[in-house]
């Protein structure tokens, strides 16, 4: 029933492999429907594919990975119920959750009762706190780290005089997450924060927000807490006033959707991505991912960065299990966390630079700029690793 959910979600019928008792299980509650489904379907497929790829290549020390998931609809109550159902029926030592909300809701029970390694879609700064969330990890930089990377780029690339920036974020927990850190980081780097503009997700009339940018004239604007709207409205409104501003986004607003939505106005839009893009065909791991997709999904021509987040997170689960087996440790949550914390300079084939987990996160990213004619993002910095 659970794997049937995958077939329905992605519109592709997949063979159901037979698993023995000695499999390594990974559970997941995935937002395959609901308002986050645009990313959830791809995240889920990335996880399913990387586990299939690992199994095809011998598994983990000969043991196969069994992926068990169910649609949670991007609803915290439903996601918690899915988690408890899968834990009761399958007892996986690793689990992937659908949101920051689910991670926070389950944290006390994961810490006291379940004691499993837990990753998710979230880049929440709060979740990357081993003291408060000892079994949780973030499979990349947190939102605070993303601001840190962008501010370091801005500090090194002023557009005349002292660098200036405005923070433009949504009035949600997601939008506000990195702001306290960003204020502190900007001050440390000598970047003036000339405005903070807060608005609703999906806002259409952004006239007052654009007039604030006209008044403050920042060199850069970092936009966070949105996926699409009101980003196009703000960028086009600023261009109408003749403003020379470089707009930057964080992970969820750095997919192909934003380029498609902006069209030629995407030119110059910038932001951070912690993973190589699917079209960076010189990256060895991207070559392997593309080869797998050509075989397993021959009709698929592109994969967004959410798919690559799923793929990388699956690599992390597998790496932790591999470290356990290499050391003769039982695959339990406590040993998987110990394995995670031991990862240093792990070569992931260029999907990211060599990976070192620091406080259960990977504080690194690269700045990309949109090329509207090519309909893709191109790197404009090397990998920037925060200390």
Tell me the β-bridge partners of 71.
30
User: What are 274's two structure tokens?
Assistant: 């912690």
Q: Token pair 């069209």 is at which residue?
A: 263
185 Cβ neighbours under 8 A, 6+ residues apart: 144, 147, 148, 151
Q: What is the pLDDT of residue 200?
A: 86
* Strand intervals (E) in 121-200: 164-170, 192-199
Are β-strands 270-273 and 220-224 bridged in parallel, bridged antiparallel, or unpaired? Answer: unpaired
Q: What is the pLDDT of residue 235?
A: 96
- Cα–chain center distance at 241: 33
Q: What is the pLDDT of residue 228?
A: 87
Pick from 31, 19, 24: nearest CA to 333 = 24
Q: What is the pLDDT of residue 20?
A: 58
Q: What is the pLDDT of residue 18?
A: 53
Pick from 240, 163, 171, 225: nearest CA to 194 = 163
What are the φ/ψ torsions at residue 245 (nearest 5 degrees)? Answer: -120, 135
* Inter-CA distances, 253 with 41, 227, 272, Å: 17, 5, 9
Residue 165 DSSP SS3: strand
Per-residue pLDDT of the chain (387 residues; tens, 9 = 90+): 344 333 333 333 333 455 556 999 999 999 999 989 999 999 999 999 999 999 999 999 999 999 999 999 999 999 999 999 999 999 999 999 999 999 999 999 999 999 999 999 999 999 999 999 999 999 999 999 999 999 999 999 999 899 999 999 999 999 999 999 999 999 999 999 999 999 988 777 899 999 999 999 999 999 999 988 899 999 999 999 999 999 999 999 999 999 999 999 999 999 999 999 999 999 999 999 999 999 999 999 999 999 999 999 999 999 999 999 999 999 999 999 999 999 999 999 999 999 999 999 999 999 999 999 999 999 999 999 997
Helices of type H across 266-304: 284-296
Neighbouring C-beta atoms of residue 310, cutoff 10 Å: 28
Q: What is the pLDDT of residue 21?
A: 60
31 Cβ neighbours under 8 A, 6+ residues apart: 37, 39, 40, 71, 72, 73, 74, 79, 98, 99, 121
Pick from 9, 88, 45, 33: nearest CA to 310 = 45
């Amino acid at each position: 029933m659970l794997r049937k959910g995958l077939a329905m979600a992605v519109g592709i019928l997949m063979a159901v492999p037979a698993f023995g008792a000695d499999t390594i299980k990974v559970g997941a509650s995935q937002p395959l429907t609901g308002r986050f489904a645009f990313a959830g379907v791809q995240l889920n497929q990335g996880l399913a594919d990387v586990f299939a790829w690992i199994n095809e290549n011998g598994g983990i020390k000969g043991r196969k990975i069994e992926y068990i998931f169910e649609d949670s609809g991007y609803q915290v109550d439903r996601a918690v119920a899915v988690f408890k159902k899968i834990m009761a029926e399958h007892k996986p030592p690793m689990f992937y959750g659908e949101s920051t909300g689910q991670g926070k809701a389950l944290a006390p029970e994961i810490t006291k009762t379940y004691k499993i390694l837990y990753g998710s879609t979230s880049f929440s700064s709060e979740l990357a706190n081993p003291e408060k969330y000892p079994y949780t990890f973030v499979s990349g930089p947190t939102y605070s780290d993303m601001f840190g990377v962008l501010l370091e780029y801005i500090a090194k690339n002023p557009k005349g005089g002292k660098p200036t920036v405005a923070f433009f974020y949504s009035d949600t927990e997601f939008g506000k997450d990195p702001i306290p850190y960003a204020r502190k980081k900007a001050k440390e780097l000598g970047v003036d924060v000339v405005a903070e503009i807060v608005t609703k997700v999906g806002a259409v009339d952004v006239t007052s927000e654009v007039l604030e940018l006209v008044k403050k004239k920042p060199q850069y604007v970092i936009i966070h807490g949105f996926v699409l709207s009101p980003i196009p409205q703000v960028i086009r409104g600023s261009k109408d006033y003749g403003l020379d501003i470089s707009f930057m986004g964080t992970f969820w607003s750095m997919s192909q959707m934003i380029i498609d939505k902006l069209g030629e106005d995407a030119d110059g839009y910038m932001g951070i991505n912690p993973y190589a893009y699917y079209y960076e065909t010189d990256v060895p791991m991207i070559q392997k991912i593309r080869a797998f997709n050509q075989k397993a999904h021959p009709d698929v021509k592109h994969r967004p960065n959410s798919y690559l987040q799923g793929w990388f997170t699956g690599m992390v689960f597998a790496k932790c299990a591999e470290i356990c087996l290499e050391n003769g440790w039982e695959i339990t949550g406590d040993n998987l966390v110990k394995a995670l914390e031991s990862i240093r300079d792990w070569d992931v084939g260029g999907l990211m630079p060599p990976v070192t987990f620091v406080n259960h996160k990977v504080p690194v990213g690269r700045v990309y700029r949109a090329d509207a004619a090519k309909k893709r993002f191109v790197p404009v910095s090397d990998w920037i690793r925060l200390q």
